[in-house]
Chain A
Amino acid sequence: MSFLEDRRALTREKRLSSLSHFNGTLEALIDEVSGTDIRQRIRTFSQIHADEIIYAFDVLSKIEDAEIIVNGSIGCAGIGLAETDENYTWYGTNLVERDTILGGEEKLREAVLRAFEEKHPKAIFIIGTPVVAINNDDINSVILELEEELHIPVISIYTDGFKSKNPVSGYDIVTHSLLKYLVDKEAEEKEDFINVISFSENVEDIAAVVKILNALEISYRVIPRFSEIDEIRSISRAKATVVLNPEEGEYLAKELEEVYNIPYILSEPPIGYRGTKNFILKLADFLNIGEKAESYIEEVEEELAKGIKKDLLEGQKVFVDASLSKIPSYTRFLKNLGAEIVGFGAPFVDLENRKNLQKLDFLPRNTPVVIGNGQYFEKVNAIAKQKADFYISQYPGNAFAVDEGAVVVSTVNRVTYGFEGVQSLHDSFLRAFRRKGKLQSNSNYKTGWKTKSGNWYVKQEVS
Chain B
Amino acid sequence: MSEVIKEPRNGCALHGALQTVQEIKGVVPVIHANAGCGVIHYLANKGTSGGNSSYSGLSIPGTAIQERHVIFGGASRLREQIKNTIKVVKGDLYVILNSCESAMVGDDVDAMTREIVEQGEPVLDTLVAGFNGGPYYGYEHVMADIFRTIDGVKPSEKKTDPYLVNILGIIPGKDPYWQGNLEEIKRILEGIGLKVNVFFGPYGGVRDLINAKNAALTINFSRWGELPARILEEWYEIPILQRPSLPLGTEQVLDLATAVAETIHIDEERIKSFFGNEEVYENDLLLRAREDLIEYDNSQTAVLVGDEEQVIRLGRFLNDFLGKEIKAVILTDALKTDEEHVTDNQELLKEITDSIYITSDQKKIEDIIRSEKPEVIFGSSLEKRIANRLEIPVVETSYPVFEKLILNKADAGIRGTISFMEEYITVVNQYEAEKRKQLLSYVKGEKGGKLWQEQSQKRSYSKKLTLVTQSQTKESLSARM
> A-side interface residues toward B, CB under 8 Å?
43-54, 73-82, 84, 86-87, 89-100, 107, 110-111, 114, 118, 130-131, 134-135, 161-163, 165, 167, 373-374, 376-377, 395-397, 399-400, 441, 443-446, 448-449, 457
Contacts of B400 in A (CB 8 A): 81
The answer to whether A161 and B35 touch (CB under 8 A), given A46-B62, A78-B15, A396-B58, is yes
How many B residues have CB within 8 A of the partner chain? Answer: 74
- Asked if A397 and B41 make an inter-chain contact with CB atoms under 8 angstroms apart, the answer reads no
- Asked if B4 and A448 make an inter-chain contact with CB atoms under 8 angstroms apart, the answer reads no
* CB<8 Å pairs between A and B, sample of 17: A47-B58, A48-B39, A48-B58, A49-B64, A54-B39, A76-B37, A78-B11, A78-B40, A79-B40, A81-B400, A89-B6, A94-B3, A98-B2, A131-B100, A131-B104, A134-B70, A444-B54
CB-nearest residue of chain A to B402: A84
Contacts of B84 in A (CB 8 A): 44-45, 457
Contacts of A100 in B (CB 8 A): 100, 104, 131
Contact with A along B17-46 (1 / 0, CB 8 A): 000000000000001011111111111111
Is B66's CB within 8 Å of the partner chain A?
yes
- Asked if B35 and A49 make an inter-chain contact with CB atoms under 8 angstroms apart, the answer reads yes
- Asked if A45 and B64 make an inter-chain contact with CB atoms under 8 angstroms apart, the answer reads no
How far does the Cβ of A395 sit from chain B's closest Cβ, in whole Å? 7
Contacts of A78 in B (CB 8 A): 8, 10-12, 15, 40-41, 44
Is B306's CB within 8 Å of the partner chain A?
no
Q: Cα distance A114–B5 when bound, in Å? A: 10
CB-nearest residue of chain B to A377: B88
Question: Among residues 61 to 116 in chain B, which have CB atoms less than 8 Å away from a CB atom of chain A?
Answer: 61-67, 69-70, 80-81, 84-85, 87-90, 100-101, 104-105
Tell me which of A91, A162, A165 contacts B6 (CB under 8 A).
A91
Q: Cα distance A87–B2 when bound, in Å? A: 26
The answer to whether A51 and B35 touch (CB under 8 A), given A45-B85, A79-B43, is yes
CB-nearest residue of chain B to A70: B8
Contacts of B66 in A (CB 8 A): 162-163, 165
- Asked if B81 and A444 make an inter-chain contact with CB atoms under 8 angstroms apart, the answer reads no
The answer to whether A74 and B47 touch (CB under 8 A), given A49-B58, A118-B363, A445-B90, is no
Is B338's CB within 8 Å of the partner chain A?
no
- Of B184-192, B213-221, B380-388, the segment with at least 4 beta carbons within 8 Å of chain A is B380-388
Is B60's CB within 8 Å of the partner chain A?
yes
Contacts of A79 in B (CB 8 A): 40, 43-44
- Asked if B42 and A397 make an inter-chain contact with CB atoms under 8 angstroms apart, the answer reads yes
Contacts of B41 in A (CB 8 A): 75, 78
Contacts of A82 in B (CB 8 A): 40, 43-44, 46-47
Contacts of A52 in B (CB 8 A): 36
Tell me which of A44, A54, A131 contacts B40 (CB under 8 A).
A54
The answer to whether A397 and B4 touch (CB under 8 A), given A51-B35, A130-B34, is no
CB-nearest residue of chain B to A101: B104
- Asked if A74 and B70 make an inter-chain contact with CB atoms under 8 angstroms apart, the answer reads no
- Asked if B63 and A84 make an inter-chain contact with CB atoms under 8 angstroms apart, the answer reads no
Q: Cα distance A75–B38 when bound, in Å? A: 10
Is B48's CB within 8 Å of the partner chain A?
yes
